[in-house]
Structures are given as structure tokens and as C-alpha cells.
Amino acid sequence: MEIKKGKELKSKYISRNSKFDYLPEHDRYLTARAKPKYKFNVIGTGNIGQEHMKVTMLEERGTIHGIYDTNTSSIEQAKQMFSTNFPGNSLVEYDSLEAACNDPEVDGLIICTPNYTHIDMVREAVKSGKHILLEKPMATTLEDAFEITRIAQNYTGIFQIGLQYRYKAIYVEAIHEALERKNVGDIKTISILEHRVPFLDKVNQWNKFAKYSGGTLVEKCCHYFDLFNLFAQSKPVHVHATGSMAVNFTEFEYNNEKSDIIDNAFVTVSYENGIQASFNLCMFSPMFLEEMILCGDEGRMKVSEQEDFLPNNLPRYQFELMRSDGKPSKVSTPSYPETIQQSGHGGATFYEHAYFIDNIEGKQTSTASVEEGFWSVAIGAAAEKSIRTGEVVYIEDLLKEHNVNLSKVVSHS
């Protein structure tokens, strides 16, 4: 018997609670799960590829149909993870990129290979016309990022970039308070800090070499430059950065090549609308701390995420809004339901998937467009250049130097 669904089924959190797994499917009313409508293939099944597999299944409207990876160990690991977590679901294993991109069963492709491969993955993937979720950074060079921007301009499927930090609960709150409610007034300065442990191991250690990753400020920090751009609501004019390889991987060699990535930096960015932004990175810290401070003409906001491995139960996420006299200030600990928050990147990857599917269904979302992906790479590339040359890098000059003419690209967002 088909059970009629009512309004009360809106909370997906109840349907995801494993406490109810003992119920036969026909008795799941309040806890009814969505039937998957979309099938996705994951290309690159390493660290984040497997996170995408898990959140796709958790989100419920989509399922993972198949996987492709050039590394047999990643494939085996992904298959094992999938059969353990989602028993009863089969997984197709493709023997070529072309086959993975062109399976008629599949609606979308989730590209999670190392940064330097993205351009080739995209060139092949777009031939399929399928929806694409491409991991950040979209490319390692401005030329490749521009080529992808131009390809995406005329693409009829969804083309989304995996800049999902904007969906961490702290930034969703910050967007709401600062951009929608304007509770710090006009934003004047943006400061972001990331202190963390060194880059983790990767398959073939691609993240230890700038030629494969784009350099630290492109690879990891494109997330923070995307947040700069989002909160500044303006275009960067010039970038100045200092940084060095002070502690990490100074002795590291792989295939007789020495690692060449920086582990600390100070980056400042000036925007067309006068907003000044600064970013501080330290990757030899014994803990994770990510913090953003916005100062406006009517208040100051600080949001942070901290993971320190100590037994104290400090809140992982914190939000603080201090406003001038007569206007309420507040502190809080923004969070998502536990299953979602623990599913990866504090729940941000889960919402990235939810909005990917919303995009496919024609709903309005605020996912990162290809142009936004481009601008996050542009600041990272400018900062890397500034460290190399010791000079202020004007974005206009940098774009010219790399033959990037953005006026040829009409907004795709």
C-alpha cells in the first residue's frame, strides 16, 4: 500500500537516523527515505572522492552508479567503503575515463582527481553533456582555469565548482548576518586565518609539488579567497603576499624530486570597492583553527572552527557578533544535525550535493559558479607570484600576462 506523504516529512534528519533502520520499508512514514532519482559517477576515488560517495548516498536524491580511478588501491578501498556503508547497492567499475563519462545510465559526473588533471578531465567530461561537479581548485594555472571558464560558458548541463566552505554552518551564519541582515554595516575589512597540521598524504603525493597542485595558495587557500570574494562582493585589484617553506617537507623527496610548496603566508588583497582583506596561513600548527573576522562601520563579527585533539569539550564552531550601542550583540555555536555535520567538512560537502541536485532541478542556489572558481584561483596565483617576485601583483596585469580576456566570457552563474 502506498502511504500518502504529508508536510511533516520535511525533516530529512529523521529519515537519516540509523535508529530507525530496523523498520521495514512499508512502515517508514515519518522516516520515509527519498527514492534516488539521479545517478552519478565519481572520477577519482581518493580522500574527497569517497566523501562525495558517502554524502551522495546520505542526501538520498542521488546514488553512486560507478567509479573510475587509475589507482587500483583507491578503487578497492572505495568499493570496500561502499559495500560496508551501503550494502545492497552495486557499483560499476569503469576501465577508461571515456567509459566513465559516457555511460547513458548516468546523469552527472563528480570529478575528484588531483588539481593538475582537472583540465584533461573536463575536456573529456564535457563531451558527455552530463552535469558536472568539479573539485576545487578548478585548475592549477590561469590559462587552464580560463579555458574551463570558457568551456562552461556554453555548457548546457550544470557546471559547479567544489568550493563548498561557504556551506559550513559558521559561514552560512556569517552570510546571513553580514550580507543579508547587514548587521556589521558596510564591511570594510575581512581577515581570515588558517592554522593547521601539514598537508596530508595523497596518492602519489601530488600536493607536495606546485606543478601538480598550483601551489599551496591555489590548492588549499582558493577556499578562503572564494570567501573573500563572496564577502567583499567586488573584484580584486591587487595582491601582495609574503611566505616561505619554513618547516614542512623541507627534506621531502618523491621520485627524486624535492617538494617546493610553502607552509606559511601572509596575503593582502585590495578590492575595487575599497574593502581590504588579509589572510594568514600557518601549516605547522599542532591543531586546526580557521577564523574569519569581518569589521564593518557598525560592528564586528568573528566566526571560527577549532579542532585541537585535547580532551576539553570546547565548541568546534563559534560565532560572535559585536555591535555598537543599542544594537544587540550575540554569541552562538552554529551547527547542523550530527549525521550531516560528521559526513565531511562540517556538513558543507553534504549541502554542496543537495544544491548540486537542486541546480539540476532548476532551483535557485548559491553554489560556486565557474567564474567564482576562476576568481578564487586568480587570487591564489597572484599571491604565489607575489611571494616569488616580492612585488605587488595587479590582477589586470596578471590576466593580460596569461592571455586571459574575461570580457569574452558572459556570466554563467
Ligand X SMILES: NC(=O)c1ccc[n+]([C@@H]2O[C@H](COP(=O)([O-])OP(=O)(O)OC[C@H]3O[C@@H](n4cnc5c(N)ncnc54)[C@H](O)[C@@H]3O)[C@@H](O)[C@H]2O)c1
Q: Which is nearer to ligand X, 134 or 301 (CB)?
A: 134
45 touching ligand X, by CB under 6 A? yes
**Which position's Cβ is nearest ligand X?**
46
Tell whether residue 369 is a contact of ligand X (CB under 6 A): no
Comparison of 271 and 317: residue with beta carbon closer to ligand X: 317
Q: Does 347 bind ligand X (CB under 6 A)?
A: no
Judged by CB under 6 A, does residue 69 bind ligand X?
yes
Which lies closer to ligand X via its Cβ, residue 101 or residue 295?
101
CB of 206 to ligand X, least distance (A): 6
Residues in the chain: 413
> Quick check: 91 binds ligand X (CB under 6 A)?
no
Query: 235 or 316, CB closer to ligand X?
Result: 316
Burial code (b: 16+ CB inside 10 Å, e: under 16) for 396-407 equals eebbeeeebebe
CA 357 to chain centre: 16
Query: Which one of residues 41, 128, 149, 164 is an interface residue with ligand X (CB under 6 A)?
Result: 164
Beta-bridge partners for 41 = 66, 109
Part in contact with ligand X (CB under 6 A); list of ranges 11-19, 114-122, 173-181, 403-411: 114-122
Compare residues 57 and 139 and give the one whose CB is closer to ligand X: 139
373 binds ligand X (CB under 6 A): no
What mask of x and - would describe binding to ligand X in positions 205 to 224, judged by CB under 6 A?
--------------x-----
Q: What is the dihedral of CA 229, 277, 266, 224, to 10 degrees?
A: -30
- The CA-atom distances, in angstroms, between 374 and each of 380, 404, 406 are 10, 11, 10
The residue type at 18 = S
| Selected range binding ligand X among 37-45, 144-152, 238-246, 259-267, rule: CB under 6 A | 37-45
Exposure string for 193-230, b = 16+ CB within 10 A, e = fewer = bbbbebbeeebebbbbbbebbbbbbbbbbbbbbbbbbb
Instruction: Please report the sign of the dihedral spanned by the C-alpha atoms of residue 199, residue 204, residue 207, residue 208.
Output: positive
CA atoms of 185 and 218, how far apart (whole Å): 31
Residue 186 Cβ vs ligand X, minimum distance, rounded to whole Å: 30
For position 367 contacting ligand X by CB under 6 A, the verdict is: no
Asked whether 321 and 330 are in contact (CB, 8 A), the reply is yes
Q: Using CB under 6 A as the criterion, which residues of the chain lie in contact with ligand X when the complex forms?
A: 43-49, 68-71, 74, 112-115, 117, 135-136, 162, 164, 202-203, 219, 345
